[in-house]
Amino acid sequence: MVKTRLAPSPTGALHLGNARTFLVNWALARRRGWRILLRIEDLDGPRVKPEAAAGILETLRWLGLDWDEGPLVQSDDLEPYRAAIRRLAEEGRAFPCSLTRGQIEAAASAPQEGAHDVRYPRELRPRAWERRFEDAATNWRFLVPERPVAFVDAVYGPQSVSPAAIVGDFVVWTKRGVPAYQLAVVVDDHRQGVTEVVRGADLLDSAARQLLLYRALGLGPEPSYTHLPLVIGPDGSRLAKRHGDSRLDRYRALGVRPERVIGLLARWCGLEAGELSASEFREAFELARVPREPVVFTPEDDSALTRPGPPPRGTPPQAR
């Protein structure tokens, strides 16, 4: 069975960037007959706001999206993740690490790029460690092989990514007692039968880390990947609050109809569509027309969404 997942992190309300990804994922699935699972990824520690999940589901429904399974919630059962880290530990593929980010940065020979990934230099690997995972307050890191990982992305084409050069031995289990994103997503996608991963291009590099984990855990088949260009602000950085409030709830509260929001998302996907419903988007969407370059959300886009205007042709306003 071909299956995909919508995997929101309940760290805040859905904004236009997330909405674009979910709309495309949903449209691909419904066009191609894939099953859709909804998974709440709530292991992201302090950033998680428990009340955000319900709001995200409600907003997805408002847009006109639906799903066949779930919502499944990651934090409901940590045992499958523990089984995976136990296996990595016993096979000597992961090691405990109590170094702080600052200590790792100080030890790294080359300057570090980006705020997120601190590369763990090989030289810091312990020489020996106990090959037994205990749910102690310690991070566990995956021993990353030196060679790059090759895979094909449906949008970006053939990739060769070297996790060793980008992040080094990355964290798979956190000292907070929960799996890190990379491990959780592999365990879940595998056990939930997910074969198609569709998400933002900020995770393109992560696909290589995840493939390493599939292989280390002996899991398969490996999923197919479709990464979508990032939505950025006019300053070139990833869409964030400083670019204006692009939360869908805000537009909804202002009386903006979902068709108008989808019209903007459709334009970002290379369609010249005006206003359209989710099912009209599903029919019009073509992956081949999605641009490879990041999409820029401008203040003009925001005013175009919120400007008063006639309802779209053919849909009486009282229909909703």
Contact window for ligand GLU (CB under 6 A) among 2-10, 80-88, 136-144, 265-273 = 2-10
Decide if 241 is catalytic: yes
Output 41 or 275, the one with its CB closest to ligand GLU: 41
Nearer to ligand GLU, 226 or 276 (CB): 226
Distance separating the N- and C-terminal Cα atoms of the chain:
35
Q: Cβ of residue 9: shortest distance to ligand GLU, in angstroms?
A: 4
Q: Determine the Cα–Cα distance for residues 114 and 169; give it in Å rounded to an integer.
A: 17
Give the nearest distance from C-beta 78 to ligand GLU in angstroms.
17
Count of residues in contact with ligand GLU, rule CB under 6 A: 7
Of positions 3, 4, 7, 204, contacts ligand GLU by CB under 6 A: 7
Catalytic residue among 3, 49, 175, 241: 241
Q: Which two tokens stand for residue 14?
A: 């859905």
Regarding 182 and contact with ligand GLU (CB under 6 A), the answer is no
Instruction: Name 237's Cβ contacts closer than 8 Å, sequence gap at least 6.
Output: none
Question: Contact with ligand GLU (CB under 6 A): which of 4, 8, 196, 209?
Answer: 8
Q: State which residue, 139 or 226, has the beta carbon closest to ligand GLU.
A: 226
C-beta of 8 vs 263, nearer to ligand GLU: 8
Residues 25-84 that bind ligand GLU (CB under 6 A): 41
Three-state SS for 280? helix
Q: In Å, how far are 107, 163, 189 from 160, measured between CA atoms?
A: 27, 10, 22
Select from 183, 229, 176, 222 the least CA-distant residue to 206.
Answer: 183
What is the rounded distance in angstroms from the CA atom of residue 28 to the CA atom of residue 33? 8
- We find the least distance from the C-beta atom of residue 120 to ligand GLU, in angstroms, to be 21
Q: Quick one: CA dihedral 84, 86, 90, 96, positive or negative?
A: positive
CA distances from 78 to 74, 152, 183 (A): 7, 31, 12
Give least dist CB 239 to ligand GLU, A: 12
Please identify, among the stretches 5-13, 80-88, 222-230, 281-289, the one whose residues bind ligand GLU according to the rule CB under 6 A: 5-13
Can you read off the two tokens belonging to residue 147? 């060679």
Q: Please report which residue ranges of 202-257 form alpha helices under DSSP H.
A: 204-216, 248-253
Q: Can you tell me the distance from the alpha carbon of 139 to that of 99, in angstroms, rounded to the nearest whole number?
A: 9
Q: Which of 43, 94, 183, 185 binds ligand GLU (CB under 6 A)?
A: 185
Restricting to residues 198-217, which ones interact with ligand GLU according to CB under 6 A? Answer: 199, 203
Which residue's CB is nearer to ligand GLU, number 38 or number 264? 38
Supply the residues annotated as catalytic: 241
Residues lying near ligand GLU in the complex (CB under 6 A): 7-9, 41, 185, 199, 203
